[in-house]
Structure 1
Amino acid sequence: WEIEVFIRISGRGKVGADGMGIWYTVENGEITKNVYGAKDQWMGLGIFLDSFDNNGNHDNPKIMAFVNDGTNSYDHANDGGSTALFSCRRDFRNKPYPVRLKVRYYKSTLTIFYHAGITEFEDYEYCGSADNVVLEKSFFGMSAATGGLSDDHDVMKFLTHSITDPESNEAQPDDEEQEEIQKLEEEMKVKVEELNTKFTEDKSKFAEEHPDIVPQDTLDIGSDDPQLQLIFTVQNHIQQNIKTIAADIASVKEMIDMLPAKISVPQAQDALQDKQDIPAPGIPVESSREAIDAIRGVDGKTTKMTNDLAVLRNELSVIANAVASLKSQPEPATGNPAQDIEDAKFKKSQQDLMNNLRQDIQTMTLKIGNIERQKSQCPKIPEVSCVSSTTFVFLTALQIGVIAFLIHYKMNQEAQAKKFF
C-alpha cells in the first residue's frame, strides 16, 4: 500500500511541541497522552513528526519510523532512542503550503518521501527506507499532542492507494475477495449446469414432439459447404495480396522520396557537362549512377506492383463470377415445410455474406484503380537553369563594380557634407 498525508503544523514561536503521529496498528488507537496523543506499546507501525528536542541533540524537527510488537515502550525523553528504523531531519513547521508525506510499503520494504511545502508541485525528496519490515493487516490513524509549547496540527488530506506488481496487469485480490470470487464462481457453475440440463430436456422433448423437423445444429454448414469454403478462401487470398501490395507501395514511396536529393546534384552536373563538356569540380560522377540505379529500382518496383495488381484484379473478377454463379443456382425443394423454412434462413444468411463479399471486392477494385492512377503520375524532375562560367564571372564582376561605385558615391557625399558644416 501507499499513503499520502497532507498536513500543516504551525505555531507562533520558533520552537514547537510536541508533534504528530501517523499510525498503522493492528488494533484501533486510543486517545491518551503517552505517545503523541496515542497509547504506548502499540503493535504495528508508527511514524512520528517530532517538533521538540527532548534529548538536547539539536536534531529536531525530524521524522522517525518505528515498528513495535506491543511490548516495547517509547523513550520519549530521548526522542525514541536507538530503536527507530530510520529518521531524517526536516523542518516541517510554518510552511506556505501543506507539508506532504508519502509512505510506501511494498514487498516488505518501508520507504518515506517528504515534501517540504515550499511549492505546490510534486517535488518529493527521499527521507529513508528499511527492508524486512513485516506488517500485518492493520488500521490507519493520526494523532497529535502539545506540551508546554503549543502548535496547530491540521490534517488536510489522507489518501490511501493499493500497490501491485508492475509486471502484473491487475491487482491481486485479498483473502476475503478471493473467497467471494470462489463463491460466485461456484454459484455460476451451478446455474450453468441447471441451464444445460434444462436445455437438454427441452431439446429432447421438442425432438419427441416434432420428429419430422431436423434441428438447426445438425445442418451441414461446416467445412464441407463449398460456398463457405469459397468465402474463406477469397478472404485469405485478398488479405495476403493486400499485405504484399502494401509492402511494395511502402518501398516505392521510400525510393520516390529519396529521388529529389539524388537527382538535384546530378542534373546540375549534366547541365554543366552539356555546355562545357567537362566534369563539374567537386561533384562525384558516382552520384548520377546512384540516381539512375534508384530510378531503375523504382521502375522495377512499380512494374512488379502493376503486375500484382493486374493479377489480383483478374482473380477478383473470377471469384466474383464464381460467387454470382453459386448465388444463381436453383434451390431444390425438400417437400418438408419446416425444412424449407430452415433452408431459407440459412440461404438468406449465406446471401448476406456474399453481398458483403461483393461489396468488399468492389471497394478493393476501386482502391486498386486509385493506386494505379497514383503510380502512373511519376514525380516531376525539377528543372535546373544553369549558366556558363563566363556569364557567371561577368555578372559577379558587374555586381562588384556597382557596389564599389555606390560606396565611392556615398563617401563623396559625406565628404561634401563635412566641408559644408
Structure 2
Amino acid sequence: MTLLGQIENNYLPLAAGFSEQSVAALSSWFQHWLNGDRQVPSALLLAEDEDPALVSQQLGFEPATNNVPDDYTETFLLVRTTGSTSTPKLVALTSKAVKTSVQATHEALAGPGQWVLALPPHHIAGAMVVARSLLAGFSPVVCARPQGNFDLDEFSKATTTALQQTRSTNTPIYTALVPRQIEQILSSSVATASARKYQTILVGGAAMSKQLAQEAKQAGLILVTTYGSSETCGGCVYDRKALPGVKLKVDETGRLLINSPTLMTGYVNASTDWVTDEMGKRFLPTSDLAEIDCEGRLSILGRADWIINTGGEKVNPLAVEARLIDHPQITAAVVVGLPDPTWGEKVCALIVPARQATPNTDPAQNDTTLDLRQIRDWVTTTLGKPCAPKEILLVSQVPTKGIGKLDREAAKRLARQNLPAEDSN
C-alpha cells in the first residue's frame, strides 16, 4: 500500500487552535500517541476555521512512490510546509522523531519545563510546544488570542499562570516566538517584564535582525535563535549549532543538507529527493544556501531560488535586507527581483521606515524624511553597486505568512503593482 492509501484511510483532520477546547483535544490526541497508543489515527493539523475537504483538495493528494521509505505506518503527525511553492507539501512525522526532537531541545536548554503556547499549533513550531510541555508532564499554558492576534496582555497572563503552576517545583518556563512578537513585547514595559521570567525564549520562523537581538538582550530577555523546518520537527539548530544527533553539511552548489533522527519520513503529496552519503546516511536537501565554519556554526546566506541576477551579477537578497535593517531609519525590509529589459532583473526593496516618512531624494531635507539616495549609498558602501536597490517602495509593514515568515511572492506582487515596470534610472 502506498503512503497515500494509508493516510487516506486512517487520518484525523484535527483543528489545532488557541481555544481551550481545541488545545485540550490536541493535547489528548498527542498524549495517546506519545504514550504508545496506536489505536488512534494519524492527525492532519488544521487551523480552527479550515475546511478539511478543501485543505485535502488544495494539497492535491496524489501518490508519491519515488524514494518513499517503508516506515510510513509509524506516521502520527501530518503538517504542512509554509514554503515558497504554490502547493504546500504535506510532511509525515513519526512519534519517535517528535520525541527525539523534544529530548534534544530539553538537553540544549535547562531541562524539561512548562511551555507557554503563543504560536499557532497547526504549524510545527506550535505543535512542538505542545509536545514539549506534555512530555515534561505539563499541559501547555495557552496565550489566548481574543482578537485573533498575539495579545500582550494575554502573554503576561499566560506567563503568570505558568509561574504559578511551577512555583512549588522551581521548574523552568519556556516559550517559542517569532521576531515580530519579540518586537511587540519590547514595545511594552509590562510584557517585557513578563518575558524576563522565561528561562529561555526560542525565536524562529524568520531571521532576527542584529538590532532586535541587541535590544532584547539589553532588556534582559534570554533568547535562543533556531533554524529548522516542518521536515525536521522544527528547530534542529540552536544559536547556529546543531542539536545532538543532527549532522549538517553543504553540497557543491552551496546548499545545506541535513541528517537528523528528527527528520520526516517523507512527503505525502510529493516525492523526496533524498541524498545518501558514502556511509549510507540519508540527508534532506534544503533550498537554503549556507556556510559552516570550523567550529560547526551554521550561517544561512539565503535561498537558491531567491538569488537575483542583475546584469550578470548574482545578488543575495538576504544580505541586502540585513544591510538595510542596520540603517537607523529602517525597521524592516524585504528585497525582491523584478524583470528589467536591460539588466534581466532589477533589485527592488520594500522598506518599513522607523517613523512616518515619505520618499525624498533631496539630501538637504531634514532627517524626518527618508533619503532614498542615501539608502542606496548605504548598501553600495558595503555590498557594492549591483546590490543597491534600483527601486524603493515605502510600506507600513512587510508581507508575511504562516507564523511570521516573509512572504516574498506577496512582496513581489506588491512591488509589481506599485513600482515602475522598467528602470528609469
Give TM-score scaled by structure 1 length.
0.17
Relative to total residues, which structure has the larger strand share, 1 or 2? 2
Give TM-score scaled by structure 2 length.
0.17
Relative to total residues, which structure has the larger helix share, 1 or 2? 1
Structure number with greater CO (CA < 8 Å, separation at least 6) is: 1
